[in-house]
Amino acid sequence: MIPPIQDIMLAAPVIPVLVIEDAGHARPIAEALVSGGLRVLEVTLRTPAALEAIREMKQVPGAIVGAGTVTNADECEAALKAGSEFIVSPGLTENLARVVTSHGLPFLPGVSTASDIMRGLDLGLAHFKFFPAIPSGGLPALKALAGPFGQCRFCPTGGIRQDSAAEWLAEDFVLCVGGSWIVPAGPPDLAAIERAARKASELRA
């Protein structure tokens, strides 16, 4: 049974945002992340290897694997067929929201303005990815948005690093953050990935 989006967001303080160029690296990367305490993995649909990477990562015990950078219904359907357990989008459209929710999938759409959030609330959503977090005004901007939308909870993503994540996570309206720093580009150093994951998993300790 797929957990609701709030439970997924609370499973670990950081959701690694993954750009997988070689599907052969996917499972070892997932094993390193889960061993380090980060169970929720967002595989962005930015590469030809992404869907196969989702299939590979799904084989890792304890991993909760979702698709990121989902921008339309076709991508959502492809991610679902690959086994995605949740969907993350850089933005929010009514069409995509309806497709995702029609499948019963947890959905984390991107927002950066009050109008975005209001559109999401109209669609029955209350959990959002604040994106791009730093270019959109950083923590002061999200604090300002959280004021009139106290029922909403957020996963800030975009420009957040290990040394700044704790400041975001200290806010009640932030359930987790998205981070690309855990798995840098290039051939994976699995020991370094596990160390980075362990350090990130302790941010809410």
| Options 58, 85, 129, 194, the catalytic residue | 129
Spatial CB neighbours of 24, under 8 Å, sequence gap ≥ 6: none
CATH label of the domain that carries residue 65: 3.20.20.70
Are 17 and 178 spatial neighbours (Cβ–Cβ below 8 Å)? yes
Give domain status of residue 93, yes or no: yes
Give domain status of residue 16, yes or no: yes
Give domain status of residue 96, yes or no: yes
Q: How many domains does the chain have?
A: 1
Give domain status of residue 72, yes or no: yes
| Residue 42 a catalytic site member | yes
| Options 42, 75, 85, 194, the catalytic residue | 42
DSSP H or E run through 33: helix 26-35
Give domain status of residue 29, yes or no: yes
Give domain status of residue 177, yes or no: yes
Q: pLDDT by residue for the chain (205 residues), tens digit each?
A: 778 999 999 999 999 999 999 999 999 999 999 999 999 999 999 999 999 999 999 999 999 999 999 999 999 999 999 999 999 999 999 999 999 999 999 999 999 999 999 999 999 999 999 999 999 999 999 999 999 999 999 999 999 999 999 999 999 999 999 999 999 988 999 999 999 999 999 997 5
Cβ neighbours of 144 (radius 10 Å): 11
Give domain status of residue 167, yes or no: yes
For 28-172, where are the E strands, in sequence order?
40-44, 64-68, 87-88, 107-108, 110-111, 127-130, 153-156
DSSP H or E run through 18: strand 14-18
For 174, the domain range is 5-198
Whether the model clears a pTM of 0.75, i.e. scores above it, the answer is yes
Give domain status of residue 87, yes or no: yes
